[in-house]
A and B are shown apart, each in its own frame.
Chain A
């Protein structure tokens, strides 16, 4: 077993960590076996993932790659990368709501209030608490700086009123990282602050959105004069734009790396295993997947060097989304049952994944916004 004290853990390099993890995975731990089964019911998958995170915490694996101050055991993203790869290789097809471990959490750990993260990061990593993030609004999608949810100072905190939409996993979440306006509407991106809101607090209402793929992963969240103490600000007052960019930057580095592991596993398990799968489409999906992997490897290295990814990293997001769609296109082509409709638990699950891949070019900054950023900031077009 891996050491679970920081001093001893410091000696475990990523390769040794990967070897320990592999030895553990070879014992077929029940939580991993369960997480690799084909379960169509989304709420059940959520519970299976929570159980998996609890076991990974108890064994110490998920504590590697995070600072000691937030319950981690030190190490780098390489430890985390090794863990995701190992889990995918042993049949785990995705982490659903724990995807935020590689989207939101790096920012929360770096810019969040230390007392708060010290208490709550361990609860997240052990599957006991769940997170969402509230960025988009009905009137602020691609134009995020137009957001209108307001935070007004009140005593030793703020009162938040407004509405968020398309927040992932708010139906299950305990906490939501909310961007709210602390300046005037005209202040655009300068007058925004990131708050940590407890979703069970009075004045918060969460309404799930039933998606076209049959899941209730997304939600609307309404805030009616919700009090948030001042020590639950991420980053600085009026510094919310930087927080949002920090999160999106991670989505193009560490998350892209995280995600490609599970896409590869799906390509093999659902695509390459089908005798009907067209070879050219399988090969083409592999090309896109390696392209996304190679792009995100550069992003990960830049993150490791303490850099925030620049506009060129928009290519990472474009390639990850392209790969996700290519993989699912190859899978669909090899299994006509998917196109027909739900016949059983497996086709139900595979259809959810296929249909979800259709929307990846919309969320987290649409494909068109990525292209526009490249056109303007990289190619310097007028």
Chain B
């Protein structure tokens, strides 16, 4: 079997297992990750097959709207690696709130004993979970998102600022690519609902999927998903030596396209898609929440433009994409 075939097969296994969780049968998302052997995969990042399987989980989670604690573990792995540390550690994502300033967020459920917090300029610290306070953010659907606060005095330094930089870059890259895969899966789930609906919902005596206005909206939505997926796969394949800013591009593209695909599929669904009885809004909310993490598409897109102006970088990703 080729690497791609193995990864595709793992993706399908992940989907099946996570679908069972989302339907309420079986155990929680993190238990599924244990059964799948997923927790060992971030440490095997250098191996294309392991890396492919590792990221495939995120696409499957998006597709099944599953609640898993994979992202905090993946984000923590590069720091632990550089600090020669190990153990159950979950990394928080820090974002800026317009009204509340800096906010630490933990994505998904976690059994980790330690919270990892990276503060650019100040280095990386570990905080015992026992002293962390959690405040759940209300997201329709199954994604757990908690804002965390802790006493800074309880933080133990893990890496100083100089030592943290390299791990920070790797963590951000892996996290952004993982979020891109989750966003792709999320958008695909929203599109699936709309495509199936267009085949059965009738108006004027025929399925609405016979009208070009509807067909083309859905074809654009498919293209949004397919192009974001291609970029995420490219970023995955180039992960060991990525061209400058490919992580930012991948995340921004996935966030933008996922929001577009959700909007297009909502338009095809009509009013039913704007109700709580229909699942579409769960995917839409998930897409919005994921887009907000590690840089929104709006922020990243603007930053990429600033970078293009300042550096006028040479075409670099092109040949690497092909030779990969």
Contacts and interface: CB of A to CB of B under 8 A. Distances in A.
Interface of A: 14-15, 18, 78, 81-82, 85, 88-89, 257, 260-261, 264-265, 267-268, 271-273, 275, 277-284, 286-287, 290-295, 297-298, 300, 312, 315, 318-319, 368, 370-372, 374-376, 378-382
A201 to B, nearest CB: 40
A293 B317 contact: yes
B305 A295 contact: no
A257 B321 CA distance: 11
Interface in B301-324: 301-306, 308-309, 312-315, 317-319, 321-323
A82 B234 CA distance: 18
B210 A382 contact: yes
Contacts of A265: 315
Interface stretch (B100-108, B130-138, B216-224): B216-224
Interface of B: 195, 198-199, 206-207, 209-210, 212, 215-216, 218-220, 222-223, 226-228, 230-231, 233-234, 246, 249-250, 252-253, 256-257, 298, 300-306, 308-309, 312-315, 317-319, 321-323
20 contacts: A18-B319, A78-B322, A78-B323, A261-B318, A272-B312, A273-B312, A279-B302, A279-B303, A280-B301, A286-B249, A287-B301, A294-B230, A295-B226, A295-B227, A297-B322, A298-B233, A315-B226, A374-B223, A375-B216, A382-B199
A264 B316 CA distance: 10
Q: Which of B223, B253, B257, B323 has the most CB of A within 10 A?
A: B223
Q: Which of A271, A286, A300, A312 has the most CB of B within 10 A?
A: A286
A280 B302 contact: yes
Contact of A267 (B220, B228, B308): B308
B308 to A, nearest CB: 4
Contacts of A278: 305
A89 B316 CA distance: 9
A291 B219 contact: no
B236 to A, nearest CB: 11
Q: Is the interface of A mostly helix, strand, loop or mixed?
A: helix
Nearest to B304: A283
A277 B312 CA distance: 13
Contact of B305 (A14, A264, A279): A279
A381 B198 CA distance: 8
A21 B323 CA distance: 16
A291 B253 contact: yes
A211 to B, nearest CB: 27
A244 B248 CA distance: 38
A271 B305 CA distance: 10
A162 to B, nearest CB: 30
